[in-house]
Structure 1
Amino acid sequence: MGQAAAAPEIELSGISMSYGSGGADVLAIDRISLNINKGEFVSLLGPSGCGKTTLLRLIADLLQPTDGTLKVAGASPREARLAQKYGIVFQNPVLYDWRKVRYNVTLPLELMGVGKAKREERAEELLALVGLAAFADKYPWQLSGGMQQRVAIARALSMEPEILLMDEPFSALDEFGRERLNEELLSVWSKVGSTVVFVTHSIPEAVFLSDRVFVLSPHPGRLSAVVDIPLPRPRTSEMRNDPAFFGLIAHIRDSFEGV
């Protein structure tokens, strides 16, 4: 008899989320059920206002659902957060301009009481991983937007999280910078092996990065489609010109409700 399949890393069952607004509830997410496997790279894709960020914040225990159940590594999101299973990268890097790059990276370790020598060693390791070893003693304001996001990624990885949550981290970059950071992110992910949940409204970005794409409908957010991305890894810039890449983009575009 074969081995039983491993349980999903993240399990959502019938998740709904309503916000109060002047006495009337506004439904942001409606009965979403999905599973994400350990080590998988998935994207939450949809138009603005479809609930992508809300869904990410529910997984991160920054919000609580009004209905449904959510488990992370077999426990509640709160238990997962307290166990430091998450690293989070927001749309803006949120770096401290008065702290050098290395000390922005080590801030979570410092708050956890990790010793200085260990913090310094970890900062050097992570900055090398994201290609910024030469910028450790610079200040954030001396770096480009893409470099600042790489610092934010290094900081999110400082506690060796099992799960990396990313909320449109490259949306402020131009197309060239965005594509370059996509490739660098996949290089980092291949080395650390975290489960990644990536929020984006860019179909090409979701296709290039992901193992699977969860397509959300316009407000209120419902799960419109789950699209497997069978493109081989490692992903390269040349792959963006592959007919299979364009075919997946067209397939996802057609999967939106109302198209």
Structure 2
Amino acid sequence: METAKRYPEIELANVGMRYSSDASEVNALQEISLDIAKGEFVSLLGPSGCGKTTLLRLMADLIQPTSGSIKVSGKSAKEARLARKYGIVFQNPVLYDWRRVEENIALPLEMMGVKKSERKRKVAELLELVRLQGFGDKYPWQLSGGMQQRVAIARALSMEPEILLMDEPFSALDEFTRERLNEELLSIWGQVNNTVVFVTHSISESIFLSDRVYVLSPHPGRLSSVVDIPLPRPRNRETRNSPEFFNLIARIRGSFEGV
């Protein structure tokens, strides 16, 4: 039986990134080529300083590469950004403390001039999606760190983006909360069915979440390996205790040897 052909939604070809200053030049990324299929969940994995966040920002058209090309659905990253194909979740929730939860989630809709009745309906749907029903009238400072990140995820999904870019959104949380939110994120992804690019420095997190893991090595950031994750879905706590899970951890750790 033939394997179904993968059609890339995001394509990077020989992407490089250099930062220049009066004193020196930093080669942050070098000749990164990869493709991500529509509806895939992929992780960018590597140690601090390997260029994971830079690569994500390039995909989002927040910065531009100094070499190579980036295509999103066959168009430029800039065209994709202008077409609002992206939703972005940062390491910190970046919520406005003076706005209630429902108002934070509705902010992109307000900026786009969506009618109040439609905003209210959409926010109610998103609060249910991220399991925060009953918290819409709270302020961010009244929520735990994990709940704040769920608000940030809801806000990123408010414009129904085709691609969700996530920059280490759970790195500041304790391990128990982080694992629970990993499971909740997969539940959300299963309902939304968008493409997710997830930056992390946690090997176990990347394996638990992803269809594929792109492993980056530092100085300059290069794509050192691509690891397919064949673990069945849906995934749960038992997944983390399976021999296959530990074998994948060992395989990815091995890819860092000599780096």
User: Is this a same-fold pair by TM over 0.5?
Assistant: yes
What amino acid does structure 1 have at the position aligned with 2:119?
A: R
TM-score (structure 2 length as normaliser): 0.97
**Match of 1:196?**
196
What amino acid does structure 1 have at the position aligned with 2:28?
A: A
Distance (whole Å) between structure 2 residues aligned to residue 179 and residue 193 of structure 1: 21
**Match of 2:94?**
94
Matches for 1:25-104 after TM superposition, within 5 Å: 25-104=25-104
TM-aligned CA deviation for residue 241 of structure 1: 0.6
1:105-151 deviation digits (Å, cap 9, x = unpaired): 00000000000000010000001000001101000000000000000
**Match of 2:207?**
207
Aligned residues with identical type, % of pairs:
73
- Contact 1:17 1:27 survives alignment (8 Å): yes
CA 1:6–1:224: 2 relative to 1, 3 Å: closer
**Match of 2:134?**
134
Local SS of the residue matching 2:134: helix
What amino acid does structure 1 have at the position aligned with 2:8?
A: P
CA 1:14–1:95: 2 relative to 1, 3 Å: same
- Contact 1:217 1:257 survives alignment (8 Å): no
TM-aligned CA deviation for residue 21 of structure 1: 2.6
TM-aligned CA deviation for residue 209 of structure 1: 0.2
> 4-13 vs 233-242, which deviates more?
4-13
TM-score (structure 1 length as normaliser): 0.97
TM-aligned CA deviation for residue 22 of structure 1: 2.4
Local SS of the residue matching 2:231: coil
Displaced runs of 4 or more, over 6 A: none
**Match of 1:176?**
176
1:171-225 deviation digits (Å, cap 9, x = unpaired): 0000000000000000000000010000000000000000000000022110000
TM-aligned CA deviation for residue 13 of structure 1: 0.3
Local SS of the residue matching 1:134: coil
**Match of 2:166?**
166
Residue correspondences, number? 258
Distance (whole Å) between structure 1 residues aligned to residue 229 and residue 121 of structure 2: 37
Distance (whole Å) between structure 1 residues aligned to residue 105 and residue 215 of structure 2: 33
Q: CA RMSD in A?
A: 1.3
- Contact 1:224 1:257 survives alignment (8 Å): no
**Match of 2:109?**
109
TM-aligned CA deviation for residue 50 of structure 1: 0.1
What amino acid does structure 1 have at the position aligned with 2:38?
A: K
1:206-249 deviation digits (Å, cap 9, x = unpaired): 00000000000022110000000000000001111111000000
Local SS of the residue matching 1:133: coil
Distance (whole Å) between structure 2 residues aligned to residue 145 and residue 24 of structure 1: 38
Gaps of 5+ in 2: none
- Contact 1:19 1:27 survives alignment (8 Å): yes
Gaps of 5+ in 1: none
TM-aligned CA deviation for residue 6 of structure 1: 5.1
